[in-house]
Amino acid sequence: MSKKLTKREEDYSKWYNELVVKADLAENSAVRGCMVIKPYGYAIWEKMQAEIDKMFKETGHQNAYFPLFVPKSLFEAEEKNAEGFAKECAVVTHYRLQNDPDNEGKLRVDPEAKLEEELVVRPTSEAIIWNTYKGWIQSYRDLPLLINQWANVVRWEMRTRLFLRTAEFLWQEGHTAHATKDEAVEEAKLMQKVYADFAENYMAMPVIKGVKSDSERFAGAEDTFTIEALMQDGKALQAGTSHFLGQNFAHAFDVKFTSKEGKQEYVWATSWGVSTRLIGGLIMTHSDDQGLVLPPKLAPIQVVIVPIYKGEEQLQKITEKVTEISSELKSKGISVKFDDRDTLRPGAKFAEYELKGVPVRVALGNRDLENGTLEIARRDTFEKQLVNQSDAVSVIEELLEEIQVNLFEKAKQFRDNNTTEVDSFEDFKTIIETNGGFVSAHWDGTDETENKIKELTKATIRCIPNNAKQENGKCILTGKPSSKRVIFAKAY
């Protein structure tokens, strides 16, 4: 495989696929639609997990673990949820293999080992969890129940893409139970805010917070709160969702509690999740034709130091200086890699770390030793500066912060430049077909209109923004009255 990436403007989709593989993030596996997350990609996920998990715990949530399998009878209990996921379920029907009598050395499913009840590999865990909560909740004192699970889930998608849509993916799913409707709605909104904070402050990915229309809502939810980001190719990415589930699962699994007043009441629920899909969003928000660009807060390696040397003696002197600088960087919590491999030239190393999106690259050569300098290059702008060694640590520290801010600002500017208000269906179609991006337009609030627009343009309503202002307008398709604009886009 060539080292060079396809350019984004040539073929964005090809660029993405190549980048994911060449930057050593992930690859397709022998299992249809399932990916292997390689160490470098997984290290990004670990950084994401650590931050998100901290945010969950700070908002009072605890982790737990529920079974991978959902018995069919539980799976089908909440009808809308079941209907939404039934078409993409991996189903376990047998629990044993045996030697194939017709095929020596091969195995076959043992027909005697058929399960009485089939098991669905969880596409999401509401059913198994609410069946469990039934035993945990008796009184208002047991509420709220604020639980999160880090897990793998499986949805048998027909068209898959690394990170963005895979049959198996890693995610977290929060499942909370509340005594009142208001409290559950507040929880769902709080987690939307947590997701938005994470996306913006760590991923440097600006998002619009909003609520989904009826037809885009999670199967089994009353309301789905979403964060929507805009990718470089003008398509939207749903980056995280938080659902107010009403009492649907409480009814389906008969989960009631005794209120302070001694009455039996059904419990109110939320669920919310983000997944390894976020890594796809991270890539498509910041990366360029040279490869991955990572915000410092999520970069597994924040600083790479490359020695420029001839012979062992020079390398040794450089190594001494580097050890000094990198131990100071490490003491400040900055992750540093010193790449002294003798099998690659410096230029090849530079290209490799550009491809892998390491935010700051330091080069230190023999002349630098004489002059007490080193060269610092930033990945986001490719700017280089010659710096005194004594200033290196403070310059790098500031630079990491600056890159984090710059990536967010750049992405926000892109998003704002590619958000268009339109007031006619002609303009709508033109924008969607040419520039793409977020299109802010009036809509009459009906499923029918939404579906018609989707049919005609492939654009869907990404969300009704939380901060949409009241404004009298007319639906771009039907001309019927509308009181606020919604955000349309083609989406991943």
> Using the rule CB under 8 A, which residue among 106, 263, 384, 480 binds a second copy?
106
Instruction: Give me the amino acid identity at 166.
Output: T
Q: Rounded to the nearest whole angstrom, what is the least distance from the CB of residue 36 to a second copy in the complex?
A: 5
**Torsion sign, CA atoms 384, 385, 388, 391:** negative
Residues 125-184, interacting with a second copy (CB under 8 A): 128, 131-132, 135, 141, 147, 151-152, 154, 156, 168, 170
Q: Rounded to the nearest whole angstrom, what is the least distance from the CB of residue 77 to a second copy in the complex?
A: 10
Binding of residue 93 to a second copy (CB under 8 A): yes
Residues 202-241, interacting with a second copy (CB under 8 A): none
* C-alpha to C-alpha distance for 413 and 418, rounded to whole angstroms: 8
Binding of residue 254 to a second copy (CB under 8 A): no
Binding of residue 67 to a second copy (CB under 8 A): yes
Tokens at 232, concatenated: 């470089």
Smaller CB separation from a second copy, 170 or 267: 170
Binding of residue 327 to a second copy (CB under 8 A): no
Binding of residue 63 to a second copy (CB under 8 A): yes
**Torsion sign, CA atoms 57, 62, 63, 66:** negative
Q: Rounded to the nearest whole angstrom, what is the least distance from the CB of residue 259 to a second copy in the complex?
A: 15
CB atoms within 10 A of CB 347: 10
* C-alpha to C-alpha distance for 62 and 325, rounded to whole angstroms: 39
Residues 357-376, interacting with a second copy (CB under 8 A): none
* C-alpha to C-alpha distance for 51 and 37, rounded to whole angstroms: 19
**Helix, strand or coil for residue 286?**
helix
> Using the rule CB under 8 A, which residue among 60, 107, 215, 483 binds a second copy?
107
How far are the Cα atoms of 125, 153, 188, 269 from residue 66, in angstroms, in the given order?
Answer: 8, 12, 21, 17
Q: Rounded to the nearest whole angstrom, what is the least distance from the CB of residue 8 to a second copy in the complex?
A: 26
Q: Which range in 40-48, 313-321, 374-382, 455-463 contacts a second copy by CB under 8 A? A: 40-48
Based on its alpha-carbon atoms, the radius of gyration of the chain, rounded to whole angstroms, reads 26
> Using the rule CB under 8 A, which residue among 3, 7, 14, 96 binds a second copy?
96
Smaller CB separation from a second copy, 42 or 309: 42
DSSP type of residue 325: H
> Using the rule CB under 8 A, which residue among 12, 80, 109, 256 binds a second copy?
109
Tokens at 325, concatenated: 């600088």
Smaller CB separation from a second copy, 191 or 459: 191
Q: Rounded to the nearest whole angstrom, what is the least distance from the CB of residue 84 to a second copy in the complex?
A: 11
Instruction: Name the residue among 299, 381, 237 with its Cα closest to residue 25.
Output: 299
Size of residue set near a second copy by CB under 8 A: 65
Binding of residue 21 to a second copy (CB under 8 A): no
Long-range contacts, stretch 207-210, CB < 8 angstroms, 24+ apart: 207/239, 208/438, 208/462, 208/463, 208/465, 208/487, 209/463, 209/465, 209/466, 209/467, 210/462, 210/463, 210/464, 210/465, 210/466, 210/468, 210/486, 210/487
Chain residues that interact with a second copy, rule: CB under 8 A: 27, 29-31, 34-39, 42-43, 45-46, 62-72, 74-76, 79, 82, 86-99, 105-107, 109, 118-121, 128, 131-132, 135, 141, 147, 151-152, 154, 156, 168, 170, 343
